[in-house]
Amino acid sequence: MNPTIIEDIKARKVLDSRGNWTIEVDVITRLGFGRCAAPSGASTGKYEVVSLPENNVDKALVEVEESITPEMVGMDAEEQEVIDSILKEVDGTGNFASIGGNTAVALSLANAKAAASSYGLSLYRYLGGNFATEIPYPLGNVIGGGAHAVNATDIQEFLTIPVGAKDAKEALSVNSEIHKRAKNALLKKTKYNLGKGDEGAWAPNIKDEEALKVLSAVSKEVTGETGVEVRLGMDVAASELWDSKAKRYVYKQEGKKRTVDEQVEYISGLIEDYDLFYVEDPIQEEDYEAFAALTKGAKCLICGDDLYVTNVRRLQEGIRKKATNAILIKPNQCGTLTDTYRAVSLAKRSGITPVLSHRSGETVDETIAHLAVAFGCPIIKTGVVGGERIAKLNELIRISEELSTQRGRMAALQ
Ligand code: PGA
Ligand code: ZN
């Protein structure tokens, strides 16, 4: 008896962390069960697959019941590539406009989890085999604004990564300590009440460089007390700042507009001044050339999110043009586990660091923690606080517990 034959699929709508409906899918095999809920973005890339058909979860549920389930029942969940190609065939649009990328990703990942569970295996072990031995460093969003908060910083995210942490628990505790202390430091800077953005980062009404100064000081304080080296990062989410008519990056808090050259110079200056370890989307999603100008000579990870949208073809172009040295991996940007894996594997073969990432709208789904370990991604970007963020972080602790008897250690960073 084949334990991984699909017996049934169920889809439902559940709430995400922004209070929006999203889709959750259960895949039931002969001997297993897998469940996954799709996340959603606020600062989505222009080239991502369409997340839901006309933003309509009910329509997605009908698609699963009427078009997808009849095709899937009786198929083997272990044949992930076949399952994912059926999703594409049923959709028929090339960008999941019909069934929705979130429908596809929830089903694709639930399928892998069901196959793993059919063999009594954790997802990371099922997908990664004996290669899954390392815990990724958590890159956490401590202060932010942009599309994730109202009247806060122009740059979307100011991040920390505890590069000196010896294990998952130490890494998580350092990031959360920084997040706690940033609150008081920020309250001294802002005359308004201090709220939080969609990912749980503090959302102060201050200029970007002030945020970097606060984060730098707080991180140094925590390093001084714990001995754990911490480096800073940011997600500029520059497509959100870009005014394509005026051809300028518009910084509202600063009251400044920057040309492309000025933007490259500005970001290079911040990398230098704050010894940044990681900069995501410093340039808008169409401009591979300016990305390349910044990456050339940058002593830090320059990561493409909206630029690549976890799409192999866009990554190939980035590799040709030497646009970045890192890629953000978000499974729902491409819609299937197979395509997610292809993007990670091309990145690794090409010396591009893959960073596995959450979305700003999340559920307590923990799947990406398993994917980061399975695929050997050295970094996972999944916030610092909030139930939907710590669901992934706490899962890393559980995985590291299992790995500690099997050579488990923190991943190798550049
Ligand atoms: P999003 O933001 O999920 O709203 O797209 C996260 C990011 O830009 O990395
Ligand atoms: Zn981003």
Atom of ligand 1 nearest to the CA of 381: 9
Model confidence at 406, pLDDT cuts 50, 70, 90, reads low
Alpha carbon of 28 to ligand 2 centroid (Å) = 33
The CA R_g of the chain, rounded to the nearest whole Å, is: 21
Ligand nearest the Cα atom of residue 282: 2
pLDDT of residue 413: 84
- Determine how many CB atoms are found less than 10 A away from the CB of residue 131: 11
- Of the candidates 113, 330, 381, 392, the residue annotated as catalytic is 330
- Of the candidates 78, 134, 157, 199, the residue annotated as catalytic is 199
| pTM of the predicted structure, to 2 decimals | 0.97
Q: Which of 347, 342, 341 is nearest to 370 (CA)?
A: 341
pLDDT of residue 379: 98
Q: What residues contact residue 303 under an 8 Å CB cut-off, 6+ apart?
A: 278, 279, 280, 281, 324, 326, 327, 328, 353, 355
Which amino acid is residue 146, in one-letter code? G
Average pLDDT over residues 208-237: 98
Residue 340 phi, psi dihedral angles, 5° rounding = -60, -45
pLDDT of residue 191: 72
Asked whether the predicted pLDDT for residue 408 surpasses 70, the reply is: no
How many percent of the chain have pLDDT more than 70? 99
Which amino acid is residue 56, in one-letter code? N
- DSSP SS3 for 249: strand
- DSSP SS3 for 121: coil
Atom of ligand 1 nearest to the CA of 237: 8
pLDDT of residue 15: 98
Q: Which residues of 344-379 are buried (b: 16+ CB within 10 A; e: fewer)?
A: bebbeeeebbbbbbbbbbbbbbbbbbbbbbbbbbbb
The overall average pLDDT reported for the chain is 96
Asked whether the predicted pLDDT for residue 386 surpasses 80, the reply is: yes
Phi/psi class of residue 247: alpha, beta or left (left: φ > 0; alpha: ψ in -120 to 50)? left
Residues in the chain: 414
Active-site residue, 199 included: yes
User: In angstroms, what CA-CA distances link 335 with 198, 318, 357, 370?
Assistant: 22, 20, 14, 17
Active-site residue, 221 included: no
Mutate to test the pocket of ligand 1, among 359, 362, 382, 389 (most ligand atoms within 8 A of CB): 359
Asked whether the predicted pLDDT for residue 414 surpasses 90, the reply is: no
Ligand nearest the Cα atom of residue 360: 1
Q: What residues contact residue 193 under an 8 Å CB cut-off, 6+ apart?
A: none
Atom of ligand 1 nearest to the CA of 40: 3
pLDDT in tens, 312-347: 999 999 999 999 999 999 999 999 999 999 999 999
Alpha-carbon distance of 13 to 57, in angstroms, equals 7
pLDDT in tens, 71-92: 999 999 999 999 999 999 999 9
Alpha carbon of 214 to ligand 2 centroid (Å) = 21
pLDDT in tens, 214-223: 999 999 999 9
Pocket of ligand 1 (CB under 6 A): 41-44, 235, 237, 305, 357, 359-360
Cβ 155 vs Cβ 68: under 8 Å: no
- Determine how many CB atoms are found less than 10 A away from the CB of residue 244: 9
pLDDT of residue 136: 97
Alpha-carbon distance of 85 to 66, in angstroms, equals 17
pLDDT in tens, 179-196: 999 999 999 988 778 999
Alpha carbon of 305 to ligand 2 centroid (Å) = 5
Alpha-carbon distance of 125 to 408, in angstroms, equals 12
Cβ 291 vs Cβ 260: under 8 Å: no
Return the H-helix or E-strand segment holding 348: helix 337-349
Alpha carbon of 136 to ligand 2 centroid (Å) = 18
pLDDT in tens, 247-270: 999 999 999 999 999 999 999 999
Q: Which of 106, 96, 21, 89 is nearest to 56 (CA)?
A: 21
Q: Which residues of 154-167 are buried (b: 16+ CB within 10 A; e: fewer)?
A: bbbbbbbbbbbbeb
Model confidence at 407, pLDDT cuts 50, 70, 90, reads low
Asked whether the predicted pLDDT for residue 1 surpasses 90, the reply is: no
pLDDT of residue 362: 98
Task: Give the CA angle between residues 128, 134, 140 to the nearest 5°.
Answer: 110
Mutate to test the pocket of ligand 1, among 360, 362, 382, 389 (most ligand atoms within 8 A of CB): 360
Alpha carbon of 199 to ligand 1 centroid (Å) = 9
Contacts of 267-270 with CB under 8 Å at 24 or more apart are 267/236, 267/294, 268/294, 268/298, 270/209, 270/212, 270/234
Model confidence at 297, pLDDT cuts 50, 70, 90, reads confident
Which amino acid is residue 90, in one-letter code? V
Model confidence at 405, pLDDT cuts 50, 70, 90, reads low
pLDDT of residue 404: 80
Per DSSP bridges, beta strands 326-329 and 301-304 are parallel
